[in-house]
Amino acid sequence: MSTTNVHVAPTSTQLDTIFQRQREAFRLKPYPSLSERKAHLKALCRLLLENGQAIAAAIDADFGHRSSHETQVLEVFPALQAAKHARWHLGRWMRPERKHVSVLFQPGRARVVKQPLGVVGIIVPWNYPLYLAVGPLISALAAGNRAMIKMSEMTPRFAELFEKLIGSYFAQDYVAVVNGGVDVAQAFAAKPFDHLLFTGSTAVGHSVMRSAAENLTPVTLELGGKSPAIVAPDFPVDVAARRIIWGKCLNAGQTCIAPDYVLVPEGKEQEFIDTARDEVQRLYPAGAASADYSAIINARHYARLKGYLKDAQAKGAKSALLAEGESETSRKLPPALVTGVTDAMQIMQDEIFGPLLPIVPYRSIDDALAYVGKRPRPLAMYYFDYDRARIRRILNDSIAGGVTINDTVLHIAQDNLPFGGVGPSGMGQYHGEEGFNLFSKRKGVFLQSRFNGLRLFKPPFGRQIETILKWLLR
């Protein structure tokens, strides 16, 4: 794909034209059949299978460096898997659900029928631009909707490629990609979609929800935050350190559910650091210069991350670099652990979204829980323990969008689990059947039977209703 083409952002009128076309097409065909929906999901699978290399190359170019393997493993494969999962289960998801009817209304029958909402808007961030566009799109298409997708201006090459690909696999009145800067994103969020799913920062989430409120458009906000990892007192620290640092180094820490900081039993910090360093050498033998290690997306984010280290060091923290290979020109930032952190440091206030990992020592598991509980509710939480009762307690006494026990990140890859944040890390959830339901109107339908006893409840009221009421209001 040529990257020299200058992309022209759609004007507000063009956005509106696409939106109106989709809406009108939906009005004319409001309930795509199972086979039509499966055909759309199949087209999406073909798009992924036939263009994996081009997709990886475009994302690599946008990042300055991202391994094609990482893109295939973390974006193309999970997107394909999610599309296949939806194809396999869609028939069951679409089936009306029978509901119990109270004896008073029998022999009437109750059903929930699932209906497409109409035109869905999807706003995509830059960190996993394929997976976070295709994931919501799968849910929207499975539920029978049409969709408009706004890609991030920070991944322009991939955005342009994706716009072309969607244009060649889908009619524009079914799925359309629109690209452009923040002005386009704002105009997009202001469209009266039937549902708007936004993935991005908590700060922008506020603005998206305000725009949607003008139209009473329901929103799903997939936001970020500081996701903690807790290592239980008697859990092998080396096992935890290897799994945590692996999850942290994916995409150089630019992952919404990357462990943001780790709570380690007091006295075990050094063991954690030593094992993490050993694991990083194993995963990335040439350190940050390794071909498998991603670059930081742009100079602003590189400077932001370096700024966290500088601020923390100035306020008394120590950092332990886990590898060599730092390069400002290619924006390669090696993973680093930070000890001696306090709440006064920026690194403990903002979502890090990069390969820096603060280590916070704790004395008792109660202290660790309290530390997490006093902070904004995170998108993800990781807990390392083999004690079932303690695991249960941690799950009950902490609130987070999703949890992986004894590893990191993997809950996102489970098609049967809901995915989404809570409080400042998001609202609503999708993936698999949850995503199908999110983009469906679950319409309650009562079917009255030919013969029924409702006449007993209708005027003129007399002694009969009084007897019935005596029984009902007891």
Q: Which of 42, 64, 113, 153 binds ligand NAD (CB under 6 A)?
A: 153
CA distance 426 to 92: 28
Whose Cβ is closer to ligand NAD: residue 32's or residue 426's? 426
- Write the interaction track for ligand NAD spanning residues 397-436; mark x where CB under 6 A is met and - where it is not: ------------------------x----x----------
Give residues 156-195 in contact with ligand NAD (rule: CB under 6 A): 182, 185-186, 189
Q: Which of 19, 63, 93, 126 binds ligand NAD (CB under 6 A)?
A: 126
Q: Which of 51, 67, 71, 127 binds ligand NAD (CB under 6 A)?
A: 127
CB of 304 to ligand NAD, least distance (A): 11
Q: Which residue in 75, 222, 351, 433 is the catalytic one? A: 222
CA distance 331 to 346: 21
Residues 6+ apart with CB under 8 A from 157: 1, 3, 58, 59, 61, 62
Whose Cβ is closer to ligand NAD: residue 215's or residue 313's? 215
Residues 6+ apart with CB under 8 A from 416: 432, 433
Whose Cβ is closer to ligand NAD: residue 184's or residue 365's? 184
Contact between residue 429 and residue 228 where contact means Cβ atoms under 8 Å apart: no
Start-end of H helices in 345-423? 365-373, 388-397
- The dihedral built from the CA positions of residue 246, 248, 252 and 254, taken in this order, carries a sign that is positive
In 3D, which of 196, 177, 193, 220 has the Cα closest to residue 23? 193
Whose Cβ is closer to ligand NAD: residue 59's or residue 369's? 59
Return the structure tokens found at 187: 């105009």
Whose Cβ is closer to ligand NAD: residue 241's or residue 348's? 348
| Catalytic status, residue 45 | no
- Note every long-range contact of 283-286, with CB atoms under 8 Å and residues 24 or more positions apart, other chains counting: 283/245, 283/246, 283/249, 284/249, 284/323, 286/325
CB of 180 to ligand NAD, least distance (A): 8
Applying CB under 6 A, does 132 fall inside the site for ligand NAD? yes
CB of 155 to ligand NAD, least distance (A): 9
Strands 356-362 and 318-321: unpaired
Binding site for ligand NAD (CB under 6 A): 123-127, 132, 150, 152-153, 182, 185-186, 189, 199-201, 204, 207-208, 222-224, 256, 351, 353, 379, 421, 426
Which residues are tagged catalytic?
222, 256
